[in-house]
Amino acid sequence: MDIIQLQDVSKTYGNKGILRGVNLAVRAGEFVVLCGESGAGKSTLLNLIGGLERSSGGRIIVDGKEINQMSAKERTDFYRHEVGIIFQGSYLQPQFTLFENITLPGVFAGMPEGERKERAGQLAQMLGISENLKFLPKEVSGGQAERACIARALLLNPKIILADEPTSNLDEANAEIVLQILNLIRVQMGVTIIIASHSRDVIKYATQVVTVAGRTAQSNATSGVGANAA
Ligand code: ADP
């Protein structure tokens, strides 16, 4: 089953065309890498899939729901539970401990405290940061902070993880650990992973590669995909 479908999607900012005629089909449990030069529209594509921005045209269907037809409230509720986001801008709150950061989406979603604690504990164990939960972000390493971002994105059991350059601030060893963790989440939990990256190291985990690149966008995939940047 396709968990994500984009049909003839376009995005313009003012009169500046960013994406045009984007068609994309992603089956549940794939590891999709969006690659392409800086400025090609990878982040824009992630923002559209993640419901953070509206498309200018076309249809975006996530887990059977067409997102342009939802009200703003429906869309917020839907995305809160459906999609976990690991974006460059989604830093940990510096004044909160890792535990508080990880459990924050549960507070907003009305998850009972006991459940938040249990879930955060399980995720921390899986991600190898159990010992770091009581610390502030500045007191842990970059790799540990990134793992806390992953735990936070997974707290509400999303079916899809969207990540924008999740390894760009990490050294090679930590980048590899983070990618292995994302792949493990895919394999063990069936979560669909979509990563925008121009790092070659990310490609080896991909089951589907989508190139977003100027007018000659090209897709290369295990399932039918097409993406075109305007
Ligand atoms: P990538 O992630 O591939 O580097 P982006 O999706 O960030 O590319 O950006 C694609 C293009 O869209 C760039 O030319 C960028 O300047 C432009 N862009 C992105 N966001 C906005 C915005 N909010 N307003 C106007 N232009 C934007």
Task: Reply yes or no on whether the pLDDT at 150 is more than 90.
Answer: yes
* Residue 220 pLDDT level (bands cut at 50, 70, 90): very low
Paired strand residues for 33:
195, 209
Task: Determine the pLDDT at residue 226.
Answer: 42
Q: Give the residue-averaged pLDDT of 185-194.
A: 95
13 lines ligand 1 (CB under 6 A): yes
Task: Determine the pLDDT at residue 43.
Answer: 93
Q: Which of 18, 20, 23 has its CA nearest to residue 224?
A: 23
Count the Cβ atoms, other than its own, within 10 Å of residue 80.
15
Q: Which residue has the tokens 């050294």?
A: 171
CA pair distance 124, 92, nearest whole angstrom: 15
41 lines ligand 1 (CB under 6 A): yes
Task: Determine the pLDDT at residue 90.
Answer: 65
Provide the residue type at 99 as one letter: F
Task: Reply yes or no on whether the pLDDT at 161 is more than 50.
Answer: yes
Task: Determine the pLDDT at residue 224.
Answer: 33
Task: Determine the pLDDT at residue 225.
Answer: 39
Distance (Å) from CA 91 to ligand 1 centroid: 20
Q: Give the residue-averaged pLDDT of 37-57.
A: 92
- Mean pLDDT, the chain, as a whole number? 88
Task: Reply yes or no on whether the pLDDT at 221 is more than 70.
Answer: no
Angle at 35 between CA 149 and CA 18, to 5 degrees: 100
Distance (Å) from CA 43 to ligand 1 centroid: 7
Pocket test residue of 13, 88, 199 for ligand 1, highest count of atoms within 8 A of CB: 13
pTM of the model: 0.89
Task: Give yes or no for a contact between 36 and 206, defined as CB atoms under 8 angstroms apart.
Answer: no
* Residue 200 pLDDT level (bands cut at 50, 70, 90): confident
Residue with the nearest Cα to atom 26 of ligand 1?
13
Task: Give yes or no for a contact between 119 and 104, defined as CB atoms under 8 angstroms apart.
Answer: no
* Residue 147 pLDDT level (bands cut at 50, 70, 90): very high
CA pair distance 230, 226, nearest whole angstrom: 13
Angle at 52 between CA 80 and CA 178, to 5 degrees: 70
Provide the residue type at 27 as one letter: R
Task: Determine the pLDDT at residue 89.
Answer: 61
CA pair distance 83, 70, nearest whole angstrom: 16
